[in-house]
Amino acid sequence: MENSLEQIREQLVREQFPQIADLRNQVHISYWSDYHLISQPLLNHLPFGRSLGPTTFYQYIDFQFDNLLIEAQRNLLFLSLSGANHFNQTPVTQTTLFFDETFFWHYYIPVRTREITEALLQGNRIRFLSRFCLSQAQVEVEFNEI
C-alpha cells in the first residue's frame, strides 16, 4: 500500500509539475533553502534580472502579481507532493530567493548602464526584484531601487 501511495505521489508531481527548475543552475539567483527545486512557472513569474521602470513595475504589481500568487501556491503543493525535506528530514516549508549581488553589479548593471542612466536622468525610478520569500504563511517580494 505504501509503495502505491508513493507511486501516486510521483505520478502527480510528474503530471502537475512537468517543468521544474534547479536553483543550482540559476547563476543570477541565490537561494536559502535545503531544497533546490522549484516549479519553472513560478520562476518565470519572478522578474529577477529585469529592470523595471515605472510602467513595467506597476503593470507587474497590478496585473501580474495575482499570477505570481497562484504559482507560489502551486509551488507549495509541489513541495508537499515531492516530499521535499530539510537535512534533518523535516518538511521544507519555505524558500527564499535573492538576486545575486555579484551578478547584479558585475554583469547586470554594466550591460544596462546607458538605459538606467537615461531613465534616471528623466526622473524615472528604476526598480529590480531583490528578494522573493515563499512560506506556508505568506509570500513576500522585495524590490530595490537603483
Torsion of Cα atoms, 82 then 30 then 49 then 53, to 10°: 100
Q: Please give the C-alpha separations between residue 30 and each of 9, 24, 143, in angstroms, as whole numbers.
A: 29, 8, 15
Question: CA Rg, the chain, in Å?
Answer: 18
Predicted confidence (pLDDT) per residue in 32-87, tens digit:
877 899 999 999 999 998 889 999 999 999 999 999 999 999 999 998 888 888 77
Q: Are 99 and 141 in contact (CB under 8 A)?
A: no
**pTM value?**
0.84
Number of domains into which the chain is organized? 1
CA atoms within 13 A on the CB side of 76: 14
Residue with the three cell numbers 513541495: 79
Nearest-angstrom CA–CA distance, 127 and 124: 10
Buried b (16+ CB within 10 A) or exposed e, 19-31: eebebeebeebbb
Check residue 135 and give its pLDDT: 92
Mean pLDDT of 20-37: 90
Kindly report the average pLDDT of the chain as a whole number.
89
Check residue 66 and give its pLDDT: 95
| Domain membership of residue 89 as a residue range | 2-145
